[in-house]
A and B are shown apart, each in its own frame.
Chain A
Amino acid sequence: MGTLLSVSELERFYEIRRTVFSLKKETVRAVDGVSFDLEDAQTLGIVGESGSGKSTLARCISFLEPADRGDVTFMGRDWLRVPSKERKTLRPQMGIIFQDPYSSLNPRKRVARIISEPLEAREGSSQRELLRSKAIEALEDVGLGEDFLDKYPHEMSGGQRQRIAIARALSTRPRFLIADEPVSSLDVSVQAQIINLFLDLKERLSFAMLFISHDLNIVRFISDHVMVMYRGKIMEMGPAEDIFQTPFHPYTRMLTGRESNGDAPSAEPVLEHQGRPGCVFFSRCPERNKHCQTEVPRLSGPGSHRAACLQYAP
């Protein structure tokens, strides 16, 4: 097994004005020095509250958004800096699924077009027969039949739409799939079907996956490794079972409900804390001490299970 994706010191900052009339611009560190590796055919789950930078990270990796600094190595290539022509040839190796199947599918296109677009980009639009047969194959992958080819998105339920989104993402047989909250907008019973579908497809097609969700139980069920993010930084990372059974970081323990979080403020990016020295979690941490205010914890720990917390430094 080789390393498929390697992210190193990735940063993405936004400049915002606090109100429309503010003269001063302030910086929100959406992704702040994130590094990790993803092996072939492995699933890395990313959890964190809203505003923790999960989606921005995914968008930077998929080049939907430029990163400000850092490196992404995908299939051995310097992904963020390769010439656009080469990126185009690598693109089909990376599939993306978004949260909302209502807005991620073009309402004016039929399923056949929606699914074959990524294929068309690779094969060229002249290969009509090939595209159609591949589209049918992709539909069968996700448990839908040929009769769906001529449907429009509005004729389908949320679960069916999400299946179409999965079929589209996997139509090029990518080695890497980014799934950003793929089941969050679905009903419980449909959610379970889609999760099973992911597991089946992964077994059959063996791709690596970045699975973003705020639902910890689902992430635990589906992931090999888990990464916990807070305000753009990795708080803890390691094998899924280790993270959930013996969480190191106070934030992870809070998320998993092992520790009550008092009446702490929410995780929505609070500007005052941006760019300050010390741990980003300081203001909410039940175990903070004076060092936490000045020293920035580095991700460290025994083996592959590591946490960014001074209290757990080896």
Chain B
Amino acid sequence: MEDNRLLSVEDLSTFFVGGERPVKAVQNVTFGIGRGEAFGLVGESGCGKTMTALSIMRLVPIPGRIMNGRIIFEHRNLMDLSQQEMQQVRGGRIGMIFQEPLTSLNPVLRIGDQISETLITHRGVTARQARETSVELLGKVGLDHPDKRYFQYPHQLSGGQRQRVLIAIAVSCNPSMIIADEPTTALDVTIEDQILRLLESLIAHSDMSLLFITHNLHIIKRIANRVGVMYTGRMVEQSAVEGFFREPLHPYSRGLLDSIPEFTSGTKRLNAIPGSVPRLSELPSGCSFHPRCPHVMDRCRSEEPMMTEAKEERWVRCFLYQN
């Protein structure tokens, strides 16, 4: 397993400093992704999943700062790299796909040129070669008439088509990992299905790894091998997908699944989690989930649980599983 590791994030903490108190967007997050593996990161808005991804790429916006942690990617600690070396990693070794396909493409450049740009920067090919490869890539991601599409502008494409272009850019340099942050959230279900199938086939035909960030558990079930659940900046559970959907361990994971009609154990009503996600600047003491937890104990109010291995390959941050 260890040799097979492509990425390991160790004890990562990213805080936003400058206010009265630092906002702890990501706190002591540890996880790893093997080659060819699809890791799904789930959680509600503000739980730190996007900040985790941005930290890996060292793109945390100011005044955010990575306070602590190691990010070992392809046997190098990304924290030690210079900005220049980091730029070679971004787009070259790690491809990125974001949620809003409209805002992540440049509206005044032809889509083909936007793909070529990546190829010229990272692979140092000539403009002519870049164009040929770009057309090939547009075909590979399932756009019709790729040679004509090359000359189109983002506004001439639909949402799904734009997302395909972003995927083409992300895979253009044969990265070993793709980070996809809510890539289908803005799309219709039918288009979402197409985009997921495209990602699935791209992964299946290479040993590319995927870090998939979403709030949608249906997608996790479909695309990921392993899943990590985040709540208020902390990873609260990490598990293989099958086990997770059969028996979620953390009370928050259980609550998330019960909030969805398809997975709920309620029949007439959903077993909703009471309360709402606390603000990161006003986190409760002890375990941050304790005010909403149905299994809360005295200990949870004052002490913070550690991540422990509850079962084989299953990690959870909860006192229920600590003897």
Complex Cα gap A265–B145 (Å): 14
Please tell me if B83 contacts chain A, counting CB pairs below 8 Å.
no
Q: Are B259 and A199 in contact (CB under 8 A)?
A: no
Chain B residues with CB below 8 A from A112, complex form: none
Residues of A203-255 whose CB lies within 8 A of B: 214, 216-218, 220-221, 254-255
B215's closest neighbor in chain A, by CB?
A188
Binds A, one of B124-132, B167-175, B265-273, B314-322: B265-273
| Residues of chain A from 248 to 266 with CB closer than 8 A to chain B in the complex | 254-255, 257, 260-261, 263-266
Determine whether the beta carbon of A267 is less than 8 Å from that of B194.
no
A193 close to B (CB within 8 Å): yes
Given A189-B272, A196-B270, A199-B269, answer yes or no on A254-B190 (Cβ-Cβ < 8 Å): yes
CB pair B194–A257 under 8 Å, yes or no, is no
- Inter-chain contact A49/B189, CB cutoff 8 Å: yes
Known: A189-B277, A199-B269. A261 touches B194 (CB 8 A): yes
Given contacts A50-B188, A221-B270, contact A191 B193 (CB under 8 A): no
Q: Is the interface of A mostly helix, strand, loop or mixed?
A: helix
Q: Which residues of A contact B259 (CB under 8 A)?
A: 188-189, 191-192
When C-beta atoms are compared, the residue in chain B nearest to A284 turns out to be B190
| Contact B193 A214, beta carbon cutoff 8 Å | no
Quote the shortest CB–CB distance from B173 to chain A (angstroms). Answer: 25
Task: Give, as a whole number of angstroms, the nearest-CB distance from A142 to chain B.
Answer: 14
Residue of A196, A218, A257 touching B272 (CB-CB under 8 A): A196
Please tell me which one of the listed residues A49, A188, A254, A266 contacts residue B260 in the complex, with CB atoms under 8 A apart.
Answer: A188
Interface residue from A189, A195, A267 paired with B188 (Cβ < 8 Å): A267
Q: Which residues of the other chain, A, contact B270 by a CB distance below 8 angstroms?
A: 192, 195-196, 221
Residues on A with C-beta less than 8 A from B189 are 49, 214, 216, 255, 257
Question: How many angstroms between the C-alpha atoms of A160 and B44 in the bound complex?
Answer: 16
Q: Which B residues, 190 to 230, have Cβ-Cβ distances below 8 Å to chain A?
A: 190-191, 193-194, 197, 215, 217
**A104 lies within 8 A of chain B by Cβ:** no
Say whether A190 faces chain B, with CB atoms less than 8 Å apart: yes
Residue of B with least CB distance to A216: B189
User: Would you call B142 an interface residue if the criterion is a C-beta within 8 Å of the partner chain's C-beta atoms?
Assistant: yes
Question: Is A220 touching B193 in the complex (CB atoms < 8 A)?
Answer: no
Inter-subunit contact B158/A187 (CB<8 Å): no
Complex interface bits, B247-271 against A, C-beta within 8 A gives 1, otherwise 0? 0000000011011111000001111
Which A residues lie within 8 Å of B269 (CB)?
196, 199-200
Known contacts A221-B270, A257-B193: does B260 contact A190 (CB below 8 Å)? no
A157 at the interface (CB under 8 A from B): yes
Knowing A49-B189, A187-B215, A266-B159, the reply to whether A220 touches B272 (Cβ < 8 A) is no
A160 to B275, CA, bound (A): 10
Q: Whole-angstrom distance between the alpha carbons of A6 and B316 in the complex? A: 53
Tell me whether A37 is interfacial, beta carbon within 8 Å: no
* B276 contacts A by Cβ under 8 Å: yes
Contact between A193 and B272, CB atoms less than 8 A apart: yes
Q: Determine whether B281 belongs to the interface, using a CB cutoff of 8 Å to chain A.
A: no
The answer to whether B188 and A199 have CB atoms under 8 Å apart is no
Give a binary string over A257-290; 1 marks a CB under 8 Å from any B CB, 0 the rest: 1001101111110000000000000000000000
Q: Find the B residue at minimum CB distance from A160.
A: B276
A159 close to chain B: CB less than 8 A: yes
Residues A199 and B160 in contact in the complex (CB < 8 Å), given A49-B189, A188-B259, A189-B255: no
Task: For B216, give the chain A residue with the smallest CB separation.
Answer: A188
- State in angstroms the CA–CA spacing of A35 and B268 once bound together: 30
**Is B4 interfacial (CB 8 A cutoff)?**
no
Do A217 and B262 form a contact, CB below 8 Å, given A50-B188, A157-B276, A266-B160? yes
Contact with A along B23-51 (1 / 0, CB 8 A): 00000000000000000000011000000
- Give, as a whole number of angstroms, the nearest-CB distance from A42 to chain B: 17
| Closest B residue by C-beta to A159 | B276
Beta-carbon contact of B160 and A192 below 8 Å: no
Residues of B within 8 Å of A260, CB to CB, are 193, 197
Q: Decide: B188 and A214 in contact? CB cutoff 8 A.
A: yes
| Chain B nearest CB, measured from A234 CB (Å) | 18
Closest to A221 in B: B261
Docked pose: A255 CA to B159 CA in angstroms: 18
What's the Cα separation between A267 and B189 when bound, in Å? 10
Contact yes or no, A217 B272, CB < 8 A = no
Q: What B residues does A214 contact at CB under 8 A? A: 188-189
Cβ of B161: which chain A residues have Cβ within 8 Å of it? 266
- Bound together, the chains give a CA A257 to CA B192 distance in angstroms of 11
A188 touches B190 (CB 8 A): no
Cβ contact within 8 Å between A266 and B191: yes
Q: Are A261 and B193 in contact (CB under 8 A)?
A: yes
Q: How far is the CB of B243 from chain A (nearest CB, A)?
A: 20
Q: Looking at the assembled complex, report how far the CB atom of B195 sits from the nearest CB atom of chain A, in whole angstroms.
A: 11
Assess whether B261 is in contact with A261, with CB atoms less than 8 Å apart.
Answer: no
Determine how close the nearest CB of chain B comes to the CB of A213; give it in whole angstroms. 11
Q: List 14 A-B contacts (CB under 8 A).
A: A49-B188, A49-B191, A188-B217, A188-B260, A189-B272, A192-B258, A195-B270, A196-B270, A216-B189, A217-B261, A261-B193, A263-B194, A264-B194, A268-B159
Given contacts A189-B255, A192-B271, A267-B190, 4 further A-B contacts (CB under 8 A): A160-B276, A187-B44, A192-B259, A196-B272
